[in-house]
Amino acid sequence: MTQSKNFELTQKRKSQILRAAYTIIAERGYENITVQDIANHAGFSKGIIYYYFSSKEDVMVSLFDSILRVIDRNFASTIQNHPEPREQMERVLRMSFDLVHKHKEFYHVIMVFWSQVTQKTLMSELNVTLFKRYRRELAKIIERGVDRGVFRAKFDVNMLASQIIAVVGGTSIQYIFDPEAFDFSKVVDASVSYIMKFLSP
């Protein structure tokens, strides 16, 4: 097998394993599964899993990294397709809320990562990375809006980015635990409206 073909096979196998891990972790959590469970779901032997990953935690770390890349791509696509800061902010907010409303399994996996923070230092570091990236991207949009005069300038950009994440995250967690507690679409519309009004000069 040529080097390029070997690389393609490796990427394909890793992708298949991570998709299986994603599905099963969303359904059952992290502590309740084994490498054998991941192998069964992927349709591989346990030996194949260990050929590409050193442990269940290694699978978890790789899955987290792939999720970060997806988030980065979504941010980049939103910003590229919508050049005005106000539209960028609204699109990013709605995209973030949509993760829990339209892709619940995605948020379930994220919550599994959160649950590992107190038990695994590496998981804590990865979660810190996730929130840093989120704050950074929001801060960039806010700064562009301030520079163009469409957002007001009298606030700490990083603190505001943290507050926006708190609104999105808090609403999403409530919805995950009790989807009947409120009309999700109305709360999203109201939250986006409040944030956009606060940003306006």
> What CATH number does the domain containing 30 carry?
1.10.10.60
Asked if 66 and 86 sit in the same domain, the reply is: yes
Structural domain range at position 22:
1-53
pLDDT of residue 189: 97
Length of the chain: 201
d(CA 101, CA 95): 10
Distance of CA 88 to CAs 54, 139, 142, Å?
A: 40, 12, 9
The identity of residue 63, as a single letter, is: L
Higher per-residue pLDDT: 188 or 119: 188
Asked if 81 and 146 sit in the same domain, the reply is: yes
Q: How confident is the model at residue 3 (pLDDT cuts 50, 70, 90)?
A: low
- Of 12, 33, 53, the one marking the end of a domain is 53
**118-132 tens-digit pLDDT:** 666 777 788 888 889
Asked if 68 and 165 sit in the same domain, the reply is: yes
pTM over 0.85: no
Asked if 63 and 156 sit in the same domain, the reply is: yes
Asked if 10 and 92 sit in the same domain, the reply is: no
pLDDT of residue 75: 83
Alpha carbons within 13 angstroms on the beta-carbon side of residue 191 total 23
Asked if 38 and 66 sit in the same domain, the reply is: no
Q: What's the structural domain count of the chain?
A: 2
d(CA 179, CA 130): 25
Asked if 95 and 172 sit in the same domain, the reply is: yes
